[in-house]
Structure 1
Amino acid sequence: MVKVALVGVGNVASSLVQASELMESGKEILGIELPPKEPIEIVAAFDIDKRKVGKPLREAIFSPPNVVAKYVDVETDLPVLRGPTLDGTRGILGDIIEESDAPFVDVVSELKNAKAEVVVSLLPTGADEASRFYGKASLQAGSAFINTTPSPVAKELGSSFKAKGVPIYGDDLLSQIGGTITHAGIMEFLRSRGVKLLRSFQVDIAGTTEAMVTLEGWRKEVKKEVKTNMISHTSEGAEVVAGTSDYVSFLGDRRVSYIVIEGTYSLGVPLRIEVSLKTLDGPNAVPPLIELIGLAQQFKRMKIGGPVKEVCAAYFKSPPSKLVGR
């Protein structure tokens, strides 16, 4: 079994736990090209919300403010542990999270006791202090670390993980078929067909907690910068703007991405592409995460530490270093 610890029992955690249950029963998860060599076992989970802390994981993944649908009955009675708050209630998060009054656990000891091989950080955008804390705790426990958030943990801690022979992958996970990866893919296709790209924009609307918190000024700028930089890397100088634009509660886990691309081709005549992409946020993160968990386990056992360039560039919007040509 691949022993995995989750940091943050939100919508992505809910989807990942359910996917692990489905895989255990022999169901296929579409989009996984590099499945883990062993089944995934969730051995620890940390959160700070009183609606989740102390509950069995099978209940916590469906507790508010989570909005992911129930796809399968999850059997695990693993209790959700109380992690340190740090900056986890900063700003608008203080209005969303109902902070638990339970005492903090010793995260390093819990990871060691659970023999966690891989820690997956699913914290909200902007929780930089908490993201760094769990990255350092994972390093101290000897666990591989996957940072799905925009916090620059793989950039900052990469050399320390490499020195210890422990993998760290990040930063800011690319969804299987999300707006950013779709946008960048269309841009690359147009370039390959000789189109001169002039300008492009992308707006995202969703009903998840992550969509709500990224409307907060400084968090919105963080997300906007990461998305814009990744898409700009494929645009050869075109003007690009991308980011979350609104939160609509009744959308729940649904996300609507609206993409516009303008350019010229052939005799200099104009081209305009408009795409409306509708996806589900939680399930969109599952295939890349499952592949990353398998890679992290393999590389950890081979003592290949640090932020492996090829892995980070393939799975994240803001890797520590980009591959030439990407």
Structure 2
Amino acid sequence: MIRVALVGIGNVASALLQSLEWVKQGKPIYGVLTSLPYKPEDIEVVKAFDIDKRKVGKRLSQAIFEKPNVVPKYVEVKSDVIVMRGETLDGKEGVLERIIEESEIPPANVSEELKKEKVDVVVNLLPTGAQKASEYYAQQSLIASSAFINATPSSIVEILDRKFKDLHIPLLGDDLLSQIGGTALHTGIIEFLKSRGVRVTRTYQIDISGTTETLITLEEWRKDLKKGIKSQYISKHSNGASVVAGTSDYVEFLGDRRVSYMVIEGEYSIGIPVRVDISFKSYDSFNAVTPLIDLIRIAKVLKDKGIGGAIPEICGYYFKKPPVIYDSTEESRRLMLDYLSKVMTEPRLDR
């Protein structure tokens, strides 16, 4: 079993827990790595932290459906884990002040709780912009010797990589790349055009949804953070084309549905112009599930082997702000699979 703690019981936590329940019922989940020694059904969420009084003190099975979460109930989640009160720090700045109803319960001692439950992997699902809170939970993971997955845009790898490496604790981040989110599809189409000899000159992407994460990223400083990371990632895959990408609007009735619009312009043949217009619709929170299920199992493998810090080959495939951005998805996937194949045949490194 892989013992997991979740930080931030929002929409992604809801989608993840429902998906884990789904696979435990023997139903398929598409796209997960099958070469790992641990299976998706080996993942068990044993700890959860949040600051909203509508979730704190409740069972996870109930908390994941409390407001402001909007992911519908697809599966009856069986979990008696009680959501504990975490530290607030910068976790409710700006528009979050109006959204979050802060619990009056004193915060738990996070590192002690992680140790008590022998947590293998901590998954950070805090809102965009919660830099101090993300750093805090990463530090608590270090103290508890738990691997840390940073699904948020907060800069954790750059700041704490060396500490995690020295203590042989895996650190994977930053800013999760969705299974079939707008950024993943956008770069995939650009790579196809490049493979056919098209010179991509400029491109843009806008995303619309009804989740809390979408609403808060309308704040300029959060929008700039997300836009900068997305644009840099797509630009790397397009050989320096002019790129703009980011959230453009919040539409409450969409709920967890996400609508992405992309335009890609370029030249082919003797300089003939080409333009690709795409409307892409998906369910936002479930876009994170398959990568997280892979990363939790990978983190456990690395932890078993005594490998610490951020691994470029792993982070480069699963994140938008990794230590190294590779030139293509094909290259990053090949390097990731080659690395895992090698690691799984080697003895524990820190013995």
Match of 1:310 in 2: 313
Match of 1:37 in 2: 38
1:126 aligns with 2:129: yes
TM-score (norm 1): 0.98
Aligned-pair distance for 1:205?
Answer: 0.3
Out of 88, 100, 107, the residue aligned to residue 103 of structure 2 is: 100
Match of 1:215 in 2: 218
Match of 1:73 in 2: 76
Q: Distance in 1 between matches of 2:174 and 2:96?
A: 21
Q: Does structure 1 retain, via aligned residues, the 8 Å contact 2:236–2:325?
A: no
1:19 aligns with 2:22: no
Q: Does structure 1 retain, via aligned residues, the 8 Å contact 2:233–2:325?
A: no
Moved more, 160-169 or 23-32: 23-32
Amino acid at match of 2:19: A
Moved more, 153-162 or 49-58: 153-162
1:176 aligns with 2:179: yes
Correspondence list, 1:176-255, <5 A: 176-255=179-258
Deviation readout 1:222-268 (Å, 9 max, x if unpaired) = 00000000000011121110000000000000000000000010121
Q: Does structure 1 retain, via aligned residues, the 8 Å contact 2:11–2:69?
A: yes
1:294 aligns with 2:286: no
Give the 3 Å change call, closer, same or farther, for CA 268–324 of structure 1 in structure 2.
closer
Amino acid at match of 2:10: G
Secondary structure of 1:89 counterpart = coil
Q: Does structure 2 retain, via aligned residues, the 8 Å contact 1:36–1:290?
A: no
Q: Distance in 2 between matches of 1:274 and 1:150?
A: 27
Match of 2:323 in 1: 320
Moved more, 181-190 or 31-40: 31-40
Aligned-pair distance for 1:321?
Answer: 2.4
TM-score (norm 2): 0.91
Deviation readout 1:92-134 (Å, 9 max, x if unpaired) = 1101000000111000000000110000000000000000000
Secondary structure of 1:276 counterpart = strand
Secondary structure of 2:237 counterpart = coil
1:109 aligns with 2:112: yes
Q: Does structure 2 retain, via aligned residues, the 8 Å contact 1:36–1:293?
A: no
Secondary structure of 2:248 counterpart = strand
Deviation readout 1:26-63 (Å, 9 max, x if unpaired) = 11111112466141110100000000000000000000
Residue ranges of structure 2 left out of the alignment (5+ in a row)? 333-351
Q: Distance in 2 between matches of 1:5 and 1:236?
A: 39
Q: Distance in 1 between matches of 2:289 and 2:240?
A: 32
RMSD: 1.1
Identity of aligned residues (%): 57
Give the 3 Å change call, closer, same or farther, for CA 324–165 of structure 1 in structure 2.
farther
Amino acid at match of 1:212: L
Q: Distance in 2 between matches of 1:322 and 1:244?
A: 22
Correspondence list, 1:81-96, <5 A: 81-96=84-99
Out of 62, 66, 72, the residue aligned to residue 63 of structure 1 is: 66
Aligned-pair distance for 1:324?
Answer: 6.0
Secondary structure of 1:205 counterpart = strand
Q: Distance in 2 between matches of 1:237 and 1:132?
A: 32
Q: Distance in 1 between matches of 2:210 and 2:43?
A: 29
1:142 aligns with 2:145: yes
Amino acid at match of 1:8: G
Q: Does structure 1 retain, via aligned residues, the 8 Å contact 2:236–2:327?
A: no
Amino acid at match of 2:118: K
